[in-house]
Structures are given as structure tokens and as C-alpha cells.
Chain A
Amino acid sequence: MFILDNLAWFLIIFFYLMFAILKPAMLDMSFITFMLYSSVPVGLLVLAESIVLLSGNFDLSIDRITGFSAMLAGKLITMYSISAELAMPLPLIFGTLCGSLNGFLVGYLGLNPFIVTLGTYMAFSGAILVVSPTSIWHLPELYILPGKDMIISMLSFGLILILLAFFLKYFRTGRSIYMVGGNPQAALMLGVDVKKVTFLAFTLGGLLCGIAALIFTGFNASVPVNIASGYTFTAFAAAVLGGISLRGGRGSVLNAFAGTLLLSVINAGLVLFAIREEVRWIITGALVVSALLIDKARETVRARVARII
């Protein structure tokens, strides 16, 4: 059970050592740093997805929320020459608003999260192109700094990860996310405002997408039209590989981070072996499916253990 819960950490060590033996370049310090740095933007999306999954829902629109927030902020900044200090909170605000829209529709109106976030996925995709059909360049230097500077980028991610883990473990509101995800009926009977907690989980996810938007922008030193596109499923895979249950209420964001690292290590290994990108996509797809298998295996083992004890 312990191994299955923390499987991602073991797999990281396994894959890393395997790649390192075959390609010693994997041990190179600058390579490791770059690997960590390049997993920051997607790592934020993993956290966004994790918090929504923990509340017993899921969000298919996170990469489009990120894209839309980045694009809208970028467009406004270039159009009105907004200073970097004032501009930085913009993607965060847009992300939060997008997340709260999903949260309102799912939490307060009780609509199905799959259909809602598929709908907002499409709507945000369209909105990105409405805002700007072309990539946005020439953003203020300070605005792109958080995502461009390796140290700032990694440190802020570390800080966000710790704050989030702390919030989920040591605050009643954080615990109520687990309760709502684990057993919404029981939470309701204990007086938890299930609607509000659902709304909050999506909104917090949106905020993390907004932060990801800022980091993605810095990472690319621009806002490409396809910014963050396709990362929703990577985020899903990483979260589930890291032990976040698709049924809600179980898992930790620290382990979800391990899931992110695992995908980065595998991806980096494949790059070193010069595997073509289309093949890498196939492998990532296979990993998503195997993440589901691991999730299922985890539940089966749990049920067995419960019977034995």
C-alpha cells in the first residue's frame, strides 16, 4: 500500500537510474536543472488539476484557462503599454475568474463537470483566438522574468507547492476539500457547504492556472497562439501517477509533484535518446492510460487490505 501510494517516487528513481546508466549526460547538473525548470509551468497545471480532482471533480479546461489568461493579459499589456508591476497580477486575476466560472457552473448550478469543462474548454479556445489570432511578442522584461529566470521560477514553484500542501493539511477549509471529494454526503451531513467548497476548488485551480500563464509566458518570452495547449492531459497523467485518486478525496499534492517529475524524467530521457516528437506523444498517451490502470490497481489493493485487516 505504501509503495503504491508513493509509487511515483520509486519510478522516478528507477527511470532516472536507468537513463543515467545508458546516457551519463542525464547526470549533468545543468541538464538536471533544466529538467526541473522546464517542469515548472506544467507542474503548476498539475497542482491546478490535483486540487480539482481532490474535490471529487475534474477540469478539462485548465490548459485553455492558462492560454486565455496569458493571451488576454499579453494583449492588454501591449495594447495599453501597462507597466510590468501592474501587469503581473492580470493573468492571475483572469485565471481565477475563469476557474470560478467553472466552479459556479459545477458547484452552485450542479452541472456535470465533464460537460461544463469541455464546454468552457471550447469557449476559452475560441476566446484565445478572438483576443489575438497571432502570437504576442515584446512584453516588458520584468513581466517575463518570473518564468524566464530559472531560479525565480523554481523557487516560486517550490513556495507555491509548500503553501498549497500546508493549506490542504492544516486548514479546515483545506480538509473540507478532501471531505467533499471523499464523501460529499457525509460532508453535507456534517454541515460542510459542499457547493462552496466545490466552487473554491475550481477557483483555486483557476488561480494556479493564472500563475501558470505568467510562468508559461516567461518561459516562452512571448505568448504563442498555442500556449500551454494540450497540457491538460499531461496534468491529469502526472496527478494520477502521483496518487491523486480520480474518485476524489485521496492523494497529496507533494506526490502529484512527484508525478510531474516522473513525466519530466521520462520525457527528458526520450529526448536524450532522440526519440521523435510524435513517438513521444504516443508514449505520453500510453502513460495516461497506465496512470488509470495504476489508480485502479491502487483501489483493488485497498479493498483487499481492508478485507484482511
Chain B
Amino acid sequence: MKNGGEIFLEDIPLIEMRKINKWFGSVHALVDVDFKIYEGEIVGLVGDNGAGKSTLVKILSGVLKPDSGEIYYKGQKVEINSVRDARKLGIETAFQEQALFDYLTVGENIFATREPTKSLLKLIRVIDYKRISEEAEKDLKKLGLNVTPIKEAGFLSGGEKQGVIIARNMRFRSKLVILDEPTRALSIAGVITVHNYIKQLKKEGIACIYITHDLHHVYPIADRIVMLSRGRKVLDIEKSKVTLEQIEEMILKSAFGEEIAPIS
């Protein structure tokens, strides 16, 4: 869409994946999947185990390579061949239980691999732990997360761990954060807390893919729901256009093999 020659940024997706196919041996894990996400958008990626959710995000995060298909970043075609490539584009992924270092402190976890350094005797640059603590403290306060930066991450609750992941992404201004089952095994209060953290990501203009098998967890917070089933995209709909009950009905239909009339 053009407006006096200028293109609105909102019209171009931050990330667009086109006709993605992935095979594992004889299993067609992803079949011509199209996927897009805009800046600051929260997309709920739902589906059963084996639906292709993790395969799709692993392609996006550079862990897997697609067998065919294209990826565009702000309209530019890109190749994501490694985790490093994905990170250069600002895509950060937090897989279940695999995003934090239990034995390191909260501060070290936020700054992991990007620790601030200071000059020592004007000879070498060493990690500045004082700054890590101070800056991490600010990040945590901003997020409303009440933990001290010198606590070991292994001692945090599930919700607090998600908070640390989000603090890390806010600090380093990621463009897209992929959260894998961030509310799995959390209490209702924990889910609400994590949702508040995610809303702050959105406020900063950071997009978020929220993977879950539980539609009820992601529905309240998502802008759009994308559903995969047996490697195919069966639903891609803005939340404002559909109720939870309608989506549930569609899921049931797809479970019994009926074709879903695409709404969008």
C-alpha cells in the first residue's frame, strides 16, 4: 500500500515465510506453509504435538534449513543458515528449559554472551560485573520482576524464568522473540504474570511468536492465531474477527479431518 510514494512500515511484515517445505526422511513435516508476523505483533502458534510448530520456528531461528521456500525480512529476501544469521536479524528463540543457565546468576543470564566490559589497567578488557548487576536491576524493575540480579537462575520459578528471558530480549532490542510454551506448567497467576511481561515486549515494538498447544493460554494475549495441523497451516486469523468458541469449533473440525473454510 502506498501513500504519496512512501511505504507504511506496518504494511510490510517484519518476517514473511513463503511456501516453506520441510521433509524428515519420508515425513512431510511442513507443507507449503506461509507465515508472517508484523512488528510488535503477538502471534499465537498453536497445534498438537507433531503439527510442525517447532519445525517452523526452528527454521526461523536457524536451527533447521527448509527444503524449499523463501524468507523475507522487511520485504528483503534473506537466508537464515545458522542461529547467528537469525540473531543478526534480531530473531531470538527461547526453547523450553533451554534458554537459561541455571548455574549462572540472573544478571549473567540477561547479559549472557553480551557482557559489558571495562578496561583493566588500560591493558585488557574484562567483564564488568558491577555494571551487569546495576543494569540488570534496572531491567528487572522495569519489567516488574521482583528478583535480585545476583540470584542463581536455577532457583527461579517458571514464571520468573520467562521474565528473565523477556528482560534479556528487551535489553538487547530483539526484533522478534520466539517463546516456546512460556506458560507450560504455570499457575493461573503465573500465566497472567508472564502475559504482562509479553505485553511489555509488544509495547517496545518487539514481535512475539507464542508457541503453545493450549489455545486458552494464548488467546487472551494474541493479536493473531495461526494453527498448524500435520504440517499444514489450517488457520490464520486475526483474533478480533473470531471468538474463542469459533476457533475451538474449527480445531475440532480439523481434528476429524474436515476441510476448514479459510477465514481471514
**Interface residues of A, Cβ cutoff 8 Å to B:** 166, 169-172, 175-176, 178-179, 182-183, 185-192, 245, 249-250, 302, 305-306, 309
Contact = CB atoms under 8 A, between A and B. Distances in A.
Given A172-B115, A175-B108, A176-B113, A189 B103 contact: no
Interface string B221-236: 0000000000000000
Per DSSP, chain A at the interface is: helix
Interface stretch (B27-35, B45-53, B92-100, B202-210): B92-100
9 A-B pairs with least C-beta separation: A185-B98, A170-B126, A250-B103, A182-B101, A190-B113, A182-B103, A306-B155, A191-B84, A191-B87
A191 B100 CA distance: 13
A14 B64 CA distance: 54
B127 A175 contact: yes
A169 B108 CA distance: 11
A288 B198 CA distance: 48
A169 B102 CA distance: 16
A171 B113 CA distance: 10
Contact of B99 (A170, A175, A189, A250): A189
Contact of B104 (A172, A182, A302, A309): A182
Interface of B: 61, 63, 83-84, 87, 92-95, 98-104, 108, 112-113, 115, 117, 120, 126-127, 154-155
A302 B127 contact: no
A183 B154 contact: no
A175 B93 CA distance: 21
Contact of A179 (B61, B63, B84, B101): B101
Contacts of A189: 61, 83, 92-95, 98-99
A176 B155 CA distance: 21
Given A175-B108, A179-B104, A191-B84, 11 more contacts: A169-B127, A170-B120, A178-B101, A185-B98, A186-B98, A187-B101, A188-B63, A191-B83, A191-B87, A306-B154, A306-B155
Looking at B87, B95, B108, B113, the one whose CB has the most chain A CB atoms below 10 A away is: B113
Given A172-B113, A191-B84, A183 B100 contact: yes
